[in-house]
Structure 1
Amino acid sequence: MTTSSGTARIVLAVPERTTVVVVTWRGAGHIAACLDALAAQERPHRTLVVDNASDDGTARLLAGHPSRPRVVRLPRNAGYAGAMQAALPLVDTPFMAWLNDDAVPATDWLARLEDAIGSAAAATSRLEYADGTLQSLGVRLTPDGHGADTTAVPAFGFCGGAALLRTDVLRAVGGVPAGFFCYYEDTDTAWRIRLAGHAIVAVPGARVTHRHGATTRPGSRSFHRWNERNRLLTLLRCAPAGVAVREISRFAVLTALLPIRQDVPDAENFRVGLRCGVLAEVLLRLPSALRARRAITRRSEVSRRSVWRTWATPVSREG
């Protein structure tokens, strides 16, 4: 282009290095804020929205949004994990960002993640509640094999609500476990990234306001079903064999003892019916989990025991 003084000025386009994937299901009440925030990002990027067969007007809202995101509408609700896996073959940028549809990133969110990731395979964000309270800086691994939000760094893994991943590494470690539907897909993926010998970094300056639980209800029966089932499946796929056997056995024994215990918490995940259903689902998926375990072993550069000893210790707990 030419300036008012007649001198030529060359403007170089900054290449888009990241495809931000937003998964939505019945997100008409909140996804516009997410898309507005993405449109305001300082760093150029592509936006891909995967609509899990929403029936609340989300499709119409997406079609009319001024940012004109690319939209893929699935024929059925595949959950967060299934939708992310469906998006993976469509991503042709070096990075793939995961972002919840109820998350609103700061304008420099993506720039901070891209600048900080370095040689790591993934970078996790700072998620805050609407009042500014810190929710998460990533995921920690507890000594009994739970993936839990952490407010300390370094973090074992990334929180799937807002993270940046190297596309080629994600593909190389087996993609996203679509059968999980939702919950633990981030812990399982981070675990496989660690086993493959890659680093994961936390970027506290990459801020995201998160309307936690806008789509799924924490504490609900479905929430606990997916959490309990997917934790056990993640252990079967990624943990040392002794740890997986120990934790599944503990889960089964506690389930058997619940009818005769007097001190049972009043929570859905302590309902015998739900827990029996979880065990049945894990048993049904055992062959595929063991096949995945063998594939993960072939791709691993670090032993399961080494990853477990490094991250599943009291040191990685809060406080």
Structure 2
Amino acid sequence: MSWPAARHAYPKGPLMEAFREHPSRSTYAPVTVIIVNWNSGRLLQQCLEALSKQSVTPSSILVVDNASTDGSIDNLPESENITVKRADINLGFAAGNNWAIEACSTEFIALLNPDAFPAPGWLEELLHAAERSPEAAAFASRMIQHNEPELLDGAGDAYHVTGLFWRIGHGRKPSPATLHTRPVFSACAGAALYRRQAVREAGGFDEDFFCYGEDVDLGFRLRLSGHTVLYVPKAIAYHVGGGSSGGTQSDFAAYYGQRNLPWVFLKNMPTTLMWALLPAHILVNVLLILRAMSRGQGRIVLRAKWDAASQLREVWKKRRAIQAQRRVGPRALWPFLHKGWPR
């Protein structure tokens, strides 16, 4: 498959020259690592300990605490480049990251969940990829399940023509495709690198999402702006998963995941594709409701779909703005949509 050329290219900086000149010591890099925390307990400290062992030292580490009540930020390791911003309420993942991004001035931002523990070369590999691929705006990590390290947690995100999305390879052993650098639809924000300028130009995370699917939504808008997203298999992070939300099968995850799923589709899918694929999208949502009923979560998912529908007027306003500004049409987007049997 030949990939459409990106419309954006970013200048190469002196960062990698510094790596080559001083290969045996850490070098401060023009990147802010952002961690949005909410009642993550000891996981946050483990995450920061892993960051302290990076082969490349970030300019700063910014922890946004969403009004935690478990004392998770009370005994953080002392470091001159760790800053904590405390919110009075739980802003959610989307708004918490936006708050942090607005406080940053570095060229890059690296987002990391408090239950994700990066390998020592994680940040350096992402920055190397950014220098090698100036046309890309986002870089996905190879996320490995912390408790079952022989299994993937995700190798970038896939987006299906029906509007479903998932982490590539989740729960499976690595395949040859997940061991090579390649374009993916979007990056899982649990461990990813972004060009800050591109994120701001795309409008940041949609704060109405609160959490779940907001990174796919951002990745969709980056693609519509002409950017590419790259998967970097050598950038490894070990992910616990559901460290503060109760896990991927919890009612919390079911509600927000199912509410936000149609918003991603309706906001971003180009008009000709949206109308052509809408029947399949509706069918998938019906099947998801039926599956939830079989799992005892029917009421939760029905409420999620009702709440999603109740906001359609606002979603349509966002859609008009996104479609008016997009630089990529259906033909360029089509190769990046998954068309096989969905996960």
TM-score, normalising length: structure 1: 0.86
Instruction: Establish whether residue 250 from structure 1 lines up as the match of residue 266 from structure 2.
Output: no
1:173-192 aligned within 5 A: 173-192=202-221
Instruction: Establish whether residue 306 from structure 1 lines up as the match of residue 320 from structure 2.
Output: no
1:129-148 aligned within 5 A: 129-130=145-146, 131-132=148-149, 133-148=151-166
Whether the 8 Å CA contact 1:224–1:268 is kept in 2: the answer is no
SS in 1 for 2:188: coil
| Cα 1:109/1:316, change in 2 over 3 Å | farther
| Cα 1:43/1:197, change in 2 over 3 Å | same
Instruction: Establish whether residue 48 from structure 1 lines up as the match of residue 81 from structure 2.
Output: no
SS in 2 for 1:61: coil
Q: Could you tell me which residue of structure 2 aligns to residue 167 of structure 1? A: 196
Q: Please provide the CA RMSD for this pair.
A: 2.6
The AA in structure 1 aligned to 2:32 is T
The AA in structure 2 aligned to 1:267 is R
Q: Which residue of 255, 260, 281 corresponds with 1:225?
A: 255
Whether the 8 Å CA contact 1:237–1:293 is kept in 2: the answer is yes
Q: CA deviation at 1:40?
A: 1.5
Whether the 8 Å CA contact 1:145–1:312 is kept in 2: the answer is no
SS in 1 for 2:142: strand
**What are the Cα deviations for residues 8-36 of structure 1, in whole angstroms up to 9, with x where unaligned?**
xx999955311000011112221111001
C-alpha distance in structure 1 between counterparts of 2:197 and 2:219, whole Å: 14
The AA in structure 2 aligned to 1:266 is S
Q: CA deviation at 1:284?
A: 2.6
Q: CA deviation at 1:248?
A: 5.7
Q: Could you tell me which residue of structure 2 aligns to residue 58 of structure 1? A: 72
Whether the 8 Å CA contact 2:54–2:121 is kept in 1: the answer is yes
C-alpha distance in structure 2 between counterparts of 1:102 and 1:298, whole Å: 38
- How much identity, in percent, do the aligned residues show? 30
C-alpha distance in structure 2 between counterparts of 1:53 and 1:135, whole Å: 28
**What are the Cα deviations for residues 266-288 of structure 1, in whole angstroms up to 9, with x where unaligned?**
2255x1x3233123211332122
Q: Could you tell me which residue of structure 1 aligns to residue 186 of structure 2? A: 157
| Cα 1:93/1:264, change in 2 over 3 Å | closer
Q: Give unmatched runs, 5+ long, in structure 2.
A: 1-20, 170-177
| Cα 1:55/1:173, change in 2 over 3 Å | same
C-alpha distance in structure 2 between counterparts of 1:316 and 1:167, whole Å: 34
| Cα 1:58/1:43, change in 2 over 3 Å | same
Give the structure with higher Rg (CA): 1
The AA in structure 1 aligned to 2:269 is A
Instruction: Establish whether residue 126 from structure 1 lines up as the match of residue 142 from structure 2.
Output: yes
C-alpha distance in structure 2 between counterparts of 1:265 and 1:275, whole Å: 8
Instruction: Count residues with an aligned counterpart.
Output: 299
Q: Which residue of 121, 128, 136 corresponds with 1:115?
A: 128
C-alpha distance in structure 2 between counterparts of 1:169 and 1:210, whole Å: 26
SS in 2 for 1:60: coil
Q: CA deviation at 1:84?
A: 0.9
Q: Give unmatched runs, 5+ long, in structure 1.
A: 1-9
The AA in structure 2 aligned to 1:143 is V
| Cα 1:253/1:125, change in 2 over 3 Å | closer
Q: Which residue of 83, 87, 97 corresponds with 2:96?
A: 83
The AA in structure 2 aligned to 1:55 is T
| Cα 1:264/1:178, change in 2 over 3 Å | closer
Q: CA deviation at 1:86?
A: 1.5
Instruction: Establish whether residue 67 from structure 1 lines up as the match of residue 79 from structure 2.
Output: yes
Whether the 8 Å CA contact 2:202–2:225 is kept in 1: the answer is yes
TM-score, normalising length: structure 2: 0.80
Q: Could you tell me which residue of structure 2 aligns to residue 94 of structure 1? A: 107
SS in 2 for 1:156: coil
| Cα 1:166/1:40, change in 2 over 3 Å | same
| Cα 1:73/1:316, change in 2 over 3 Å | farther
C-alpha distance in structure 2 between counterparts of 1:252 and 1:143, whole Å: 13
C-alpha distance in structure 1 between counterparts of 2:313 and 2:63, whole Å: 32
Q: CA deviation at 1:312?
A: 2.2
C-alpha distance in structure 1 between counterparts of 2:313 and 2:303, whole Å: 17
Q: CA deviation at 1:253?
A: 5.3
Whether the 8 Å CA contact 2:162–2:284 is kept in 1: the answer is no
Whether the 8 Å CA contact 2:212–2:256 is kept in 1: the answer is yes
C-alpha distance in structure 2 between counterparts of 1:208 and 1:316, whole Å: 28
Q: Which residue of 19, 28, 43 corresponds with 2:41?
A: 28
SS in 1 for 2:183: coil
Q: Which moved more, 1:198-207 or 1:66-75?
A: 66-75
Q: CA deviation at 1:121?
A: 0.3
C-alpha distance in structure 2 between counterparts of 1:108 and 1:145, whole Å: 34
C-alpha distance in structure 1 between counterparts of 2:203 and 2:231, whole Å: 22
Q: Could you tell me which residue of structure 2 aligns to residue 7 of structure 1? A: none
